[in-house]
Structure 1
Amino acid sequence: MTTLSKFRYLKLSPVGAIIALGLSAIPFNALAGERPQVPADVFDLSHWNITVPIDKDRDGKSDTISVKKLKKYSHPDFFYLDEQNRMVFATPNKAATTKNSSNTRSELRHMLRGKNTRIKTHGAGNNFAVRARKDSDKFGSVGGRLDATLQVDHVARRAENPDVKAAFSAVVGQIHAVKYDNTASGFGYGNEPLKIFYKKFPGHETGSVFWTYERNLPKDDPNRTDIAYPVWGNLWTNKTDPKEAGIALGEPFS
């Protein structure tokens, strides 16, 4: 049986620019007397697109809804507003995926270019860089910050390989990295500088929230590993119930 990962964002406030950190928006009031119909009626999604776990155009990969189309977009199963006007994201364990991943996703991506598609998706003007990069001034932004309040409602309760680190978890925030042919700057290896996980083992009272950093090294370097840091509860493989130290399903956290 296919199961869902589901989480909803109650409040999101980006400061500066963060690209592809899963989800982000600034809440604002909908027009008086009108009930909001889509997430963009309540959240400022003017610089975001979204990837959803369906392949409507049958091109062999999950669909991406552009910045322009996202203004009027929702999906009744994977991306919508709940009765309290919170933005809900859901994805099944098995569905369409992006070209280079086996993970399904309902994921917003920050597009610094907005609707200006003359700037390429992977171009410097549509991405941010860390200040340590020598040519960081050529990018759309240097660093960034995101403040958010969210809750996870459901994660998988069954797994074909339960001992795999990512089993029973959902990624609720992520910074992707672009891989460049020229890595003379010391950057551009395509390592992911941040992933934020919520993981809850079946039968546990609460789950854990932790983040990982993939070391900035070539892909074939054996030292390119994930460094994990706990925020609430435990890390990947600790099967102890975190109880009061963890976060329950449906419990907001920031």
Structure 2
Amino acid sequence: MNIKLILSISFAVVLTLSLNSCENKIKKQDKQEEAKKVTYPNDVIPFMAKWKILLGDGTRSEDLTNFQKQDFFYVANDGTTDWVVYKTPNSGITSRTSSNTRSELGEKKHWIPEEGGKLTGTLKVMHVSTTGHADKPSSFAVVVGQIHSDEGHENEPLKIYYKKFPGHTKGSVFWNYEINTKGENSGRWDYSTAVWGYDFSVVGASPTEAPQEPKDGIALGEEFSYEVNVYEGIMYLTFESKGHETVTFTKSLIKSDFPTKADIPQQVIDNYASRRTVSEEREIAYAGEINFFKQGAYNQANAKSTKSEIYGGDISKQYANGSYAEVWFKNATVGASVDPKKE
């Protein structure tokens, strides 16, 4: 009986150990499978190897393969589709050339306008700052695509904006061209062109009074696409959205539209002359100057110009109280320019 008892106990111990071992292996395999199921931004938009990134908390990365950062750069699903999310507070750590925060890609490859390049994006803006002054042009706005110069004045020949005033259902999509200023850069300015809704110059009559809601605007969460094709020094822009007219523009980046004082648009005089002496642009604009693309969420609601709430720079408080921008992209490409006649 003792031998049978010992054998029974031994068998039970071996069986228990075996079952525990199997269970541990299964748990380990489950964890490995779970880790494999993580969807990274480069799984959704595969072009991430061509970019580096700066996030709203100051995080930088040159390698975006299997890279994400909670609350700044990650993947979300809307029930049917995976989207790459770019989220950034009103106040955080940003680049040396701006007081605005961003969770934004910067193209590694640089190019001159004569060589050019092409950038596309399909996106929806999910949130813009709900705090700010309605009479400040940058309030309640986010830039979702750029061309940025990397020499000279380091100005921006293109910024694609989305802006929505609090209380409005519809927001505006517009693009700004910043001159490559002749001489020193204190007289620089942007000329703004509406796509759907208003341009940059339309503001409220007071800090608390918004203009009328745009009739042909874009709502938060409403999908739209842009294409930026710089070919042989000419920038070709195309904007598309279901239920809206497709809009196209053409702008030279190698020959200025504003080489003399007489060429400066009235929009610019009305919006800048009270603050600074507006300058002319150099005649060759950005010809021969190194540029690169940017894409993501470049929050324009910085405290200096918009009087936005920043809660002492506490990012969690900003997120909780609406002081942030959030942009979702489901498709995007970057590469060589294309002859528009062959597209």
Shorter-chain TM range is 0.5 to 0.7
Residue deviations 1:88-127, cap 9 Å, x none? 1110111111122110100011112xxxxxxxxxxxxxx1
Quote the residue 1:16 is aligned against. Answer: none
Please tell me whether residue 150 in structure 1 is matched to residue 146 in structure 2.
no
Q: Conserved in 2, the CA contact under 8 Å of 1:196 and 1:212?
A: yes
Q: Conserved in 1, the CA contact under 8 Å of 2:192 and 2:201?
A: no
Report the Cα offset of residue 51 of structure 1. 0.5
CA RMSD in angstroms, aligned pairs only? 1.7
Quote the residue 2:75 is aligned against. Answer: 81
Report the Cα offset of residue 42 of structure 1. 2.3
- How many Å separate the matches in 1 of 2:182 and 2:91? 30
- How many Å separate the matches in 1 of 2:167 and 2:183? 37
Please tell me whether residue 246 in structure 1 is matched to residue 217 in structure 2.
yes
Aligned counterpart for 2:54 among listed residues 51, 55, 61: 51
Please tell me whether residue 235 in structure 1 is matched to residue 235 in structure 2.
no
- How many Å separate the matches in 2 of 1:40 and 1:100? 27
Q: Highest Rg: 1 or 2?
A: 2
Quote the residue 2:142 is aligned against. Answer: 170
Counterpart amino acid of residue 73 in structure 1: F
Residue deviations 1:122-157, cap 9 Å, x none? xxxxx11011xxxxxxxxxx1112222110000011
Residue deviations 1:62-103, cap 9 Å, x none? 221113xx1021112011111232111110111111122110
- How many Å separate the matches in 2 of 1:191 and 1:91? 22
Report the Cα offset of residue 231 of structure 1. 0.5
- How many Å separate the matches in 2 of 1:219 and 1:87? 40
Q: Conserved in 2, the CA contact under 8 Å of 1:38 and 1:72?
A: yes
Report the Cα offset of residue 174 of structure 1. 1.1
Q: Conserved in 1, the CA contact under 8 Å of 2:40 and 2:67?
A: yes
Quote the residue 2:112 is aligned against. Answer: 129
Counterpart amino acid of residue 253 in structure 1: F
Q: Secondary structure at the match of 2:200?
A: coil
Change (3 A) 1:221 1:77: closer
Residue deviations 1:27-58, cap 9 Å, x none? xxxxxxx635211122221111110011xxxx
Please tell me whether residue 105 in structure 1 is matched to residue 105 in structure 2.
no
Residue deviations 1:180-216, cap 9 Å, x none? xxxxxxxx33221000110001111200000001112
Q: Name whichever structure is richer in helix by fraction.
A: 2
Q: How many residues align?
A: 178
Q: Which runs of 5+ in 1 are unaligned?
A: 1-33, 55-61, 113-126, 132-141, 180-187
Report the Cα offset of residue 219 of structure 1. 6.3
Q: Secondary structure at the match of 1:128?
A: coil
Q: Secondary structure at the match of 1:40?
A: helix
Correspondence 1:203-218 to 2 at 5 A: 203-218=167-182
Larger relative contact order (Cα-Cα within 8 Å, sequence gap ≥ 6)? 2
Change (3 A) 1:223 1:95: closer
Change (3 A) 1:105 1:222: closer
Quote the residue 2:42 is aligned against. Answer: 40
With normalisation by structure 1, the TM-score equals 0.66
- How many Å separate the matches in 1 of 2:195 and 2:119? 16
Report the Cα offset of residue 224 of structure 1. 2.8
Report the Cα offset of residue 233 of structure 1. 0.5
- How many Å separate the matches in 2 of 1:85 and 1:190? 34
Percent identity of paired positions between Structure 1 and Structure 2: 43
- How many Å separate the matches in 2 of 1:89 and 1:224? 29
Quote the residue 2:62 is aligned against. Answer: 66
Q: Secondary structure at the match of 1:73?
A: coil
With normalisation by structure 2, the TM-score equals 0.49
Change (3 A) 1:223 1:79: same
Please tell me whether residue 201 in structure 1 is matched to residue 181 in structure 2.
no
- How many Å separate the matches in 1 of 2:187 and 2:101? 27
Q: Which runs of 5+ in 2 are unaligned?
A: 1-35, 203-210, 226-343
Counterpart amino acid of residue 74 in structure 1: Q
- How many Å separate the matches in 1 of 2:98 and 2:185? 20
- How many Å separate the matches in 1 of 2:144 and 2:163? 10
Report the Cα offset of residue 221 of structure 1. 5.4
